[in-house]
Amino acid sequence: MKRSGIAAVASFAFTVFFFFSFLAFVNAQEIRILHVNDFHGFAEDHKRLGSDAPQGGIAYLAALAGQLRQEKPSVLLAAGDMIQGNTWANLFEGRPSIEVMNAMGFDAMTVGNHEFDFGKAVLVKRVQEAKFPVLGANIEGLDSLKPYTIKEVGGVRLGIIGIVTEDTPSATHPDNVEGLRFLPVAKTVERCIGELKGRADIIVVLSHIGYNADMALANSVKGIDVIVGGHSHTKTGKHIVVGNTIIVQAWEHGLVLGVLDLTVEDGKIVNAVSRLEEVSPQKIKKPREDVARIVDEYTRQVNEVMGRVIGKASVDLDGENVRVRETNLGNFIADIFKKESGADATIINGGGIRASIKKGGINIKSIYSVLPFNNYIVAIKLTGKQVKDALEYGLSGIEAKEGRFPQVAGLSFTYSTKQPAGSRIKDVFVNGKSIDPEKQYVVATNDFLAAGGDGYQVFREAIRQSQDFAIIGGTIKSGNIVYNDAGRWLRDVVVKAVEEKKNISPSVEGRIRESN
């Protein structure tokens, strides 16, 4: 072939390549998913245990989200547990969180299990106040929740499906979910994908089932492009891909903002880049003013009621490691259960302790942040075997940092994670003596666990085993219930204890020990 012919062919090939590359470039759309999860009402920047630098702050997160939204077409999504947790939200039953989210222009939110903690009627109010769709595809009996929403972003139609853990009935008080059904997640997502066929280009599952469950869902259900997760408070520096599904999660408490950038061609994701952006006053400098005003107003109201200093912590009180080991704060609270009820021992769920307290002055607000749930003290007769069964169950989820991990008083035990769940407990001692499987012990807990919450069926079964068990006018009667103080919330009992003791300095005593 002559050189001129070769040159012509090469030129033509280059032109064709350039043309199709240009078409691909023209057809490609770049969009951004911004996401948060497990905010739990932590609106103010705060110093976490072990750190002297303030972190978080929803007004700073709002400013960052605004900056990132300007760079490319974006959606802002919340993967559950937004309205409950910190006193800033709890004192007003979650209304401040929704007000802030409205100001920030959230595009969608799925309910988390803690959205139910104020009861169904309050949740319906919060959903009605939201200026964005609140999703819950696998929930039957709450018509105000939508299964999914369709959002067009930069020419790409996102079908956003909201799901929550099927374990919600055991993760909140049973009264809060009475009459509701929590359907299997995988089947629900499959159904919704079918309904969205032809109506959405990209399927996004806004999930509150936990990181491991998200991976299992991606393995079992085809057609999910992205899972934006929550519930397990997982800090994912970058996304993972399971099959063809991208999975992200953004830690907790508004400490980071998740960023997922997608390149979409012909309705398919061809590239994905993700990161977590740190949120702090040092990094962002200037908060978003309208959100800051909302935060400050509710903070002012909280401080008027709860700013009074009632005692002093001589050491940091650890509420962050209560799901994996004995902590000094867990011991302090468990001891209060035992003393107030006159029980032989205490078993409570570490997940009921939601914050730490830094060394220094303790105000009422800090106690309410540690114990945000409307729980009270109950003491129940258990056999030694049932006590051990309860501890076995509590240790069964330690690898996943499940909230069932026990904090205890009046008893001590050793365990080994090298053994399978259900066979991990070794020695158990009650008040210094080896436990007797046949003997009855009075064990203090909270009404949540007494009702079978967090899966603790041992307490529920012990109540029902009593010969005089009955439900009269909605009130449970059982000879196995020794103490039942429904007239005082646990947090108020703790406030009184701190006021009386003044100087608080609990320690880790070896009540819970891991062995080989």
pLDDT, mean of residues 14-34: 65
263 is a domain residue: yes
Contact 310, 362 (CB under 8 A): yes
* Same-domain pairing of 287 and 364: no
Q: What is the pLDDT of residue 373?
A: 94
19 is a domain residue: no
pLDDT, mean of residues 254-259: 98
Residue, of 18 and 487, whose pLDDT is higher? 487
Contact 55, 267 (CB under 8 A): no
Indicate the pairing of strand 74-78 with strand 29-36: parallel
pLDDT, mean of residues 63-88: 97
**In the predicted model, is pLDDT for residue 21 greater than 70?**
no
Contact 213, 165 (CB under 8 A): yes
Q: What is the pLDDT of residue 4?
A: 55
- Between 80-84, 286-290, 467-471, the lowest mean confidence (pLDDT) is in 467-471
Structure tokens at 102: 């409205």
* Same-domain pairing of 38 and 181: yes
d(CA 261, CA 33): 6
7 is a domain residue: no
Express each pLDDT in 377-415 by its tens digit: 999 999 999 999 999 999 999 999 999 999 999 999 999
Residue, of 158 and 476, whose pLDDT is higher? 158
Q: Is 407 helix (H, G, I), strand (E, B) or coil?
A: strand
Q: Which residue, 253, 271, 297, sits at the end of a domain?
A: 297
pLDDT band at 3 (very low <50, low <70, confident <90, very high): low
Q: What is the pLDDT of residue 316?
A: 96
**In the predicted model, is pLDDT for residue 20 greater than 80?**
no
* Same-domain pairing of 347 and 280: no
Q: Which residue, 267, 297, 327, sits at the end of a domain?
A: 297
* Residue (of 153, 181, 149) closest to 168 by Cα position: 181
What are the CA-CA distances from residue 126 to residues 2, 44, 120, 327 (Å)?
77, 21, 10, 35
Which residue range(s) make up the domain with 149? 28-297
**In the predicted model, is pLDDT for residue 22 greater than 50?**
no
pLDDT, mean of residues 258-267: 97
Mean pLDDT, the chain, integer: 93
* Residue (of 169, 508, 502) closest to 321 by Cα position: 508
Q: What is the pLDDT of residue 5?
A: 56
Q: For residue 187, which amino acid is it?
A: K
474 is a domain residue: yes
* Same-domain pairing of 255 and 382: no
* Same-domain pairing of 65 and 188: yes
Q: Which residue, 297, 329, 361, sits at the end of a domain?
A: 297
Q: Position of tokens 């646990």?
A: 490
8 is a domain residue: no
Q: What is the CATH number of the domain that holds 353?
A: 3.90.780.10
Give the rounded percent of residues in the chain with a pLDDT score beyond 90: 88
Q: What is the CATH number of the domain that holds 174?
A: 3.60.21.10
* Same-domain pairing of 340 and 278: no
Name, in order, each residue with C-beta under 8 angstroms of 253's C-beta and a sequence gap of 6 or more. 38, 39, 40, 42, 56
Q: What is the pLDDT of residue 171?
A: 83
Instruction: Kindly compute the dihedral angle of the four CA atoms of residues 203, 205, 206, 212, in this order, to the nearest 10 degrees.
Output: -150
403 is a domain residue: yes
Q: What are the DSSP calls for 351-376, one per residue? A: GG----B-SEEEEHHHHHHHS-S---
* Same-domain pairing of 330 and 440: yes
* Same-domain pairing of 370 and 477: yes
Q: What is the pLDDT of residue 491?
A: 96
pTM of full prediction above 0.85 = no
* Residue (of 361, 337, 360, 427) closest to 388 by Cα position: 427
Name, in order, each residue with C-beta under 8 angstroms of 276's C-beta and a sequence gap of 6 or more. 235, 236, 237, 250, 251, 256, 257, 258, 259
* Same-domain pairing of 445 and 398: yes
Express each pLDDT in 116-138 by its tens digit: 999 999 999 999 999 999 999 99
Q: Looking at the 3D structure of the chain, how many domains does it have?
A: 2
304 is a domain residue: no
* Same-domain pairing of 156 and 243: yes
* Same-domain pairing of 39 and 93: yes
* Same-domain pairing of 222 and 345: no
Burial (Cβ within 10 Å: 0-12, 13-18, ≥19) of residue 342? exposed
3 is a domain residue: no
